Every structure is written in C-alpha cells, then in structure tokens.
Amino acid sequence: MNLLPRKLASSIFFLFIPLFATSCTYDTSGLPEASEICDNQIDDDNDGYIDCNDNDCANNTLCNQNTENCTNSLDDDDDDLIDCNDPDCSDHEACLAEICDNGIDDDNDTYLDCEDQDCFDSDHCQIPEICDNQTDDDNDGLTDCEDPECENTVNCLPEICDNGTDDDNDELTDCEDPDCANHQACLVEICDNGNDEDHDGLIDCNDLDCKEAINCLPEICDNQTDDNANSKIDCLDPQCFNTGQENSYEYCGRCNPYTNEGCSANSTCYVSKDHYFRTFCFSSAGTAQHHEFCSEPNDCAPGLFCTYTYNPGNSTCVPICYPDVDESCPNEYSCFNFSYWGNGPTDWGVCWSI
C-alpha cells in the first residue's frame, strides 16, 4: 500500500488552511463610520438606537422641536406663530371658536352660544334691554334705566319738577313724583321749627309757603280768640305787644305778665297804673305777696298788681287777671276789669272781692 501520497495530501491540506484563513481578513480602520439618519426609522449606525432616540441626533432640528404652549403668549416652537395662531394649537380648547348660533359648546367651556362670553359682542347675541321690567335683559350687569341703552326711553327720562308735565311717564307729575322729593320746588317748609327746609332763605312764617299755616296767621288782639293757635290769646300773644297807641284800647302793653315774655332776662313784666293800666317791663322785681303793702308796681312779686293810691299806706298787692281770657283768681275773688273803677281804657284787671 502506497501511503506517501496520502500523507502528502494531508500535509498539503493543513498547509492551505491557515493560508485560506489569512486571505479572508481585511482592515476597515480607514473606512468612514456609518451615520444615524434621524428620520428613517432605521438604526443606521447599529448602536441599538433609532432616529431621535440616538444621541447622534440630539442636535438635529428634526429631533429638537419645542411644543407650542397655546395660552402663554410665547412662540414656544420658534416658528414665528404664537398660541392660537400656530397650527399646532388648532385643536386646543383655548383656540376653539364658539359658534354663537348652533346650539353646540364648540370651545368646550360649558357655555353654549350666547351664554358664552365669546359671543357677547356677536350681532346674534345682542339682546335689547327692556327698560321697565327690573331685569338685566342683555346681561351687561345694568338693569333698566341704569343701562345706557335706556337713556332715551321715556320712563328713564328725568322728571322736571316744576313744568306740570309727567316727563318720565310714571303717571306722577312734578312734586307728586318721588324723583322730585329733594327738589327745591317740592320741599315743604315746616312753619314753626326755626329751619329753612326749602332753602329759599326764608324761615317759618316769613316764608310765603307758610302764609296759610295757622301759627302764621296774625293774632287779632281784642277778640278773645287764639287766632294763630299758639295758646296765647290777644294781649298775651307777642304779636300784640307794642301795637297801637298807649292810651287806646288797641294797645296791649309791652309784655306778658304771666310768662314775662317781651321783657329781657333782667327785667320783669307788671301791669302798671302809670302806663294806662297796661303791661310794662321794670328793671327789678319785688317780693311783696297778696295783701302786703306796696308803693310801686314792682314792689309786688311777679303776677301781682300794686293798688297804690296817693295814700301809700292803703296800697296792697293783689293778683292780676285778664277778663274774658284768663280769669283765674283765688277763692272768693272775681276778675274785674280796671274799667270797673273807671280806669282805662285797658284789657287788664285784678282779682277782687266785693
């Protein structure tokens, strides 16, 4: 058996194996590396990351776009379009437009059509204000005449308080209308309180508005009547002080001997024989009581009359009275006019026992 050829063949086989292996190896160090393409859904550089997930794409504009915030008034994605002007915001709730007459809440804010404030200025939603129904019909926060829309409606016109016309059409004319309550023409003068209520510069009875007021009627000084209802009759009324001639029946005197009205605080009113049996103010007041002796009118206490004669020893103090007006006298005394003794003319008298 010839073995040589077999051994030789085996040697040749092993000789060629390393030569074959060496011939399949090549050097790639000089070749360019593969780059990741950032928008083709392929891992081009075989690093396990695709497109924008690969760090190689970090600075690629395709992978570095900001999202537009639709409500911050900024151009977040640098496309020169802000908020709702950016197409990226077309479906954003803040950018949806309310259609004002379709019965749909288009902008998803729970308000439909004219209930949505986006529609307040819409012609479709301009509801006129009814000016006399106490309702804010046009939802502008102003009711009836408060709303400028009503300024020319007749019921919202101001009432002119002195022209005899119902200007605001409420069936109340001039001072009958509450709108005129504080108008000067409608203020009422109170005629006995010392105030000028109607601001016309005239107070109480000096105001023509008071000419019919009973307390402003003139007192007739000799009719035993309280003509002006001030509880002061005839010569007791200040209106009758210092009127007429001192020696005439029309003359009452200067004061009220019961109240001292008409005299100053430092003087006292007496009925005086020296003044035609009329009232007069004396600078001092006496203290002599009923039946006590006196020589001058003001020796007596106020309310008494000194019956002084030319014989002072016979003069005493007696109570005064006003015949037919105030005849109050002590028991067993009656009111007599001085004319009873031939004195006068006068309206005054004294309480006397006959």
Residue 23 has pLDDT above 60, yes or no: no
Burial class (CB in 10 A: 0-12, 13-18, 19+), 14: exposed
The whole-model pTM stands at 0.46
Instruction: State how far the Cα of 260 lies from the Cα of 280, in Å rounded to an integer.
Output: 10
Between 13 and 335, name the one with better pLDDT. 335
Calculate the average pLDDT of the chain. Answer: 83
Q: What are the CA-CA distances from residue 243 to residues 217, 247, 286 (Å)?
A: 16, 11, 27
Q: Where are the domains of the chain?
A: 70-126, 236-352
Distance from the Cα of residue 7 to its chain's centroid: 130
Residue 45 has pLDDT above 60, yes or no: yes
Mean pLDDT of the 248-257 span = 84
If phi > 0 it is left, if psi is from -120 to 50 it is alpha, else beta; for residue 189 that is: beta
Segment 284-341, tens digit of pLDDT? 999 999 999 998 999 999 999 998 765 667 889 999 999 999 999 999 999 999 888 7
Residue 78 confidence (pLDDT): 81
Between 226 and 2, name the one with better pLDDT. 226
Q: Are 82 and 70 in contact (CB under 8 A)?
A: no
Residue 209 has pLDDT above 50, yes or no: yes
The edge-to-edge listing of strands for the beta sheet with 304-306 is: 304-306, 317-321, 349-352, 334-337
Q: Helix or strand or coil: residue 321?
A: strand
Residue 8 has pLDDT above 50, yes or no: no
Between 306 and 159, name the one with better pLDDT. 306
Confidence of residue 32 (pLDDT cuts 50, 70, 90): low
